[in-house]
Amino acid sequence: MTPILNRINTLMFTLLLTTGGNTMAQDSIITQSQVNKQILAKFGEEVFGKKDLSNLQNYMQEDYIQHNPLVPQGATGFKTFFADWFKAVPDWNYALTKIVSEGDTVWAYGTYSGTQKGDWLGIPATHKSYRIDAVDIFRIEDGKLAEHWDVIDTYGLFKQLGVIQ
């Protein structure tokens, strides 16, 4: 074999090896992203679809970090906040529009809606309906929700409830 053919073979082998390695790494990332999306989807179906807060320990770290100042810290704070919301808004609904995952982070875009029939967030029952869009961002660690951020239209919520003009 000529030196040029040896170099071409070496180059081809190296190219295939490195491309294969990248593909395997990408498959691993895609697989973990898919798993994380499934974790969030199951959590959403149980908690937001069925309004069942009894199995949070299966989905959420006990020391869950919450970056929304209206929601207390930890799994217990989450449970209290949503139990109060579900009680104040008996027709509470969440409609998922899109879910995206990359690495340990999952983004969910959807719409919260309902009619405030009870006291909530220090606001007496208004009997008014609301519909607001939100992006919820979760970090997943060891197969459970570990941290949360959101971008939510609180101005729109308070305006629709008549709290602000």
| Residue range(s) defining the domain that contains residue 85 | 3-160
Measured CA to CA, the distance from residue 93 to residue 53 in angstroms comes to 15
Tell me the C-alpha to C-alpha distance, in Å, between residue 89 and each of 59, 124, 127.
24, 12, 9
Percentage of the residues of the chain whose pLDDT score is greater than 70: 82
- Predicted confidence at residue 66, as pLDDT, reads 96
pLDDT score of 113: 97
* CA–centroid distance for 143 within its chain: 13
In percent, how much of the chain has pLDDT > 90?
79
First to last CA, the chain: 83
**pLDDT tens for each residue of 83-104:** 999 999 999 999 999 999 999 9
Sheet containing 105-115: order of strands: 60-66, 144-152, 129-141, 105-115, 93-102
The structural domain count of the chain equals 1
Over residues 98-114, mean pLDDT = 95
How sure is the predictor about 28, in pLDDT bands with cuts at 50, 70 and 90? low
The pTM of this model reads 0.78
Mean pLDDT lowest for which of 30-44, 85-99, 102-116? 30-44
Q: Is residue 80 part of a domain?
A: yes
The rounded distance, in Å, linking the Cα atoms of 70 and 84 is: 12
Q: What is the mean pLDDT of residues 16-31?
A: 49
pLDDT category of residue 82 using cuts at 50, 70 and 90: very high
Residues 138-155 have a mean pLDDT of 96
In a domain, 165, yes or no: no
Output the domain CATH number for residue 27: 3.10.450.50
Closest CA to 110 of 132, 91, 92, 88: 132
**63 located within any domain:** yes
